[in-house]
Amino acid sequence: MVDQLEENPDIPVRAVQEQFQRKYSVGISMMKAYRAKVIAKKNVEGDHASQYFLLRDYANELISKNPGTTVKIELELGKNPGDQERQFRRIYICLATLKEGFKALGRELLGLDGAFMKGPFPGQMLTAVGVDNNNGIYPVAYAIVESENLSSWTWFLELLASDLDLGINSNFTFISDRQKGILQVVTRLFPCAEHIYCLRHIYENMRGTFKGDMYKNML
């Protein structure tokens, strides 16, 4: 299955069964096809759990090849009492060239957003993006966190503020979808900043809430 997964990583388990039937004239169960796909996927993509042991080396490599880069890794103790082995909690990355480039642009506008992570270890990615001189998206920093909440947004924005020299009196404009916890954090860390909301997200939320054309009138 390795060759199949390299060509089509999202091949359905049912398709695996059918291909096996056509090629070998042998039927296999859904569970056996699923297990075969999992094993083949590990061969193609690598084992997710083992990658966490390489995280510190990855951080050191980023800093070595991009002097001035900020990488922060936060760990926590395991859930089992007495377990002294620490587990991954969060990572924050801001590449030096992007950091300095954003400062040179001089456009005091930052978009903040969060997105769900897929895979066996779910979490969320927090991102901060600016706008370049061609009005294109300019990535500034990102973090992988356990979830979107007051604690994770505070951690992310405090590190971002340090990297971009944003003080309590900074008058940046932030754009967000009013994600959980972000309103309180921006108000507390940057009381002089303007916080505006993404119109596309407001549109999508209202369209899902109000029936018919009512959302158009509301907008």
Domain contains 56: no
pLDDT at 1 over 80: no
Highest mean pLDDT: which of 63-67, 121-125, 203-207?
Answer: 63-67
157 vs 182: CA distance, rounded Å: 9
Average pLDDT, the chain: 88
Q: Is residue 216 part of a domain?
A: no
Q: Is the pLDDT of residue 31 over 80?
A: yes
Domain that includes residue 41, residue range: 2-46
Angle at 158 between CA 153 and CA 161, to 5 degrees: 120
The mean pLDDT value for 142-156 works out to: 94
Give residue 175's pLDDT: 93
Q: Please give the angle made by the CA atoms of 5, 6 and 12, to the nearest 5 degrees.
A: 25
Give whichever of 10-14, 17-21, 36-40, 65-69 has the largest mean pLDDT: 65-69
Asked whether the predicted pLDDT for residue 204 surpasses 90, the reply is: no
| CA 27/CA 111 separation, integer angstroms | 52
Buried b (16+ CB within 10 A) or exposed e, 6-33: eeeeebebeebbeebeeeeeeeeeeeeb
Q: Are residues 122 and 28 in the same domain?
A: no
Tell me, what's the pLDDT at 5?
79
d(CA 16, CA 6): 14
> Are 9 and 73 contained in the same domain?
no
Question: Do 163 and 127 share a domain, yes or no?
Answer: yes
Residues 131 and 93 placed together within one structural domain of the fold: yes
> 196 and 104: one domain?
yes
- φ/ψ of 12, rounded to 5, equals -70, 150
Residue 84 has pLDDT above 80, yes or no: no
Quote the percentage of the chain above a pLDDT of 70.
100
Q: Are residues 128 and 88 in the same domain?
A: yes
Domain-embedded: residue 52:
no
Residue 52 predicted with pLDDT over 80: yes
Residues 93 and 201 in one domain: yes
Q: Is 29 a domain residue?
A: yes
Query: What would the pLDDT profile of 165-189 be if each residue is shown by its tens digit?
Result: 998 888 889 999 877 788 899 999 9
Same-domain status, 71 and 42: no
Note whether 135 and 35 are same-domain residues.
Answer: no
Query: What's residue 119's pLDDT?
Result: 74
Domain shared by 84 and 113, yes or no: yes
Is residue 36, in this structure, part of any structural domain at all?
A: yes
Percent of the chain with pLDDT over 90: 46
**Is 54 within the bounds of a domain?**
no
155 vs 160: CA distance, rounded Å: 9
39 with 96, same domain: the answer is no
- Amino acid in the structure at residue 210: F
- Count up the domains in the chain and report the number: 2
Is residue 12 assigned to a domain?
yes
Q: Are residues 143 and 195 in the same domain?
A: yes
79 within domain boundaries: yes
Q: Residue 79 pLDDT more than 80?
A: no
Burial class (CB in 10 A: 0-12, 13-18, 19+), 140: buried
Q: How confident is the model at residue 93 (pLDDT cuts 50, 70, 90)?
A: very high
Provide the pLDDT for residue 21: 86
